Amino acid sequence: MSSRQNAVSGLVIDHDLSDANTLALPSRAERFWHARVERDVIDGLELANAQGWPITVVGGGSNLLLPPAVGGLTLRADIEGTTFRAGDGGAVHVEVGAGVGWHALVDACVEREVWGLENLALIPGLAGAAPIQNIGAYGVELADVIDWVELADRRDSRVHRLERDACGLGYRDSIFKQELADRVVITRLGLTLSTRPRPQLDYGVLRDRVATTPSAREVFEAVCAIRREKLPDPALTPNAGSFFKNPLVTEATASRLLRQAPDMPHYPQPNGQVKLAAGWLIDQCGLKGRRKGAFGVHDRQALVLVHFGGGTLDGLIAFADELVDIVHARFGVVLEREPRRVDASRG
């Protein structure tokens, strides 16, 4: 069934969301609102408020688990535009619309020899979704460079600016996944980058690929090569990237596991916890390449679950839960899901 345009300008009834989730799970929005400027976002929020509809915000869908039907109003903010402004001491202030592709933004920065985002190359999705997960890779997180987030709040239908410290950015977490979930729509981001070289090469797999004093382009290309070698292209093999967070455990737990497996990757954190590699834990359980029905563990990266077609959200969750149970039985560590699951009972 195709989408139907409603008498209310901009509102689409029964909209296919298959292109709004990179896992290619079948899903339809009861009502869909495509916003291209801030005013469109406000109009959508005001309509939802007037009708008493819950709101689900979608973007590129690279970190989203959608049910077969999404009630209320599903809103997508495709606000474009990227500006670069020189600051003091080599600083570069970047303002980017929520609808700009994240990888395109990173590429544009590298093209201008601006440092700060090169380790985050080839992460799928749109810029507006980046603060929700506080995206990170190879020792760099968005929290390292973000200054502010602009958002439209359905409580007053106005655009507000949240400074970085108010965003609650943590490991794959933020206020946008917690208190502000499905209440606000991110419209723009403000970042501070630099023209001064500052390569972050703490990960050995990256350090081995680049020169001692690399350019931003060299780091960017190395990250792209590594990701292409390890991760499937969602356009060819539907997936949501890393399906599980790297677990944070106590020093005591990490010491116990290291006695069992001295080669276990582990990364001490400033707060005393230790980050483990979820992919390694899954791989050690012999689960890499495992398949059940429509879903499987990727054969090159155990952290990625792939959809072979014909599956549903319930089937995916059941498969993921089996993996969690197996890892817990082997290591005593509970893996947490990274992608955001939309509640099927909404509306």
Strand 140-141 to 82-86 pairing:
unpaired
Distance CA 343, CA 335 (A): 20
Q: How far apart are CA 142 and CA 301, in angstroms?
A: 23
154 is a catalytic site residue: no
Q: Of 172, 188, 340, 346, which residue is the catalytic one? A: 172
Which helix (H) or strand (E) is 279 found in, with range? helix 278-284
What DSSP state is assigned to residue 42? H
Q: Which two tokens stand for residue 280?
A: 């390694």
Length of the chain in residues, anyone? 347
CA–CA distance, 127 with 129 (Å, rounded to integer): 5
Q: Under a CB-based contact definition with an 8 Å cutoff, are residues 129 and 117 in contact?
A: no
Sequence-distant (≥ 6) Cβ neighbours of residue 347 within 8 angstroms? 30, 53, 54, 70, 71, 72
| Options 27, 62, 174, 242, the catalytic residue | 242
Strand, helix or coil for residue 57? strand
Query: What distance in Å separates the CA atoms of residue 34 and residue 50, rounded to the nearest whole number?
Result: 18
What is the separation of C-alpha 282 from the centre of its chain, rounded to a whole number of angstroms? 21
Provide the token pair at 49: 């408020």
- Residues 19 and 26: their CA atoms lie apart, in Å, by 9
Query: In a 10 Å sphere around its CB, with 0-12 CB exposed, 13-18 middle and 19+ buried, how is residue 9 labelled?
Result: exposed
Which is the catalytic residue, given 118, 141, 150, 338?
A: 338
172 given a catalytic annotation: yes
Q: Residue 124 corresponds to which amino acid? A: P
Q: Which residues are annotated as catalytic?
A: 172, 242, 338
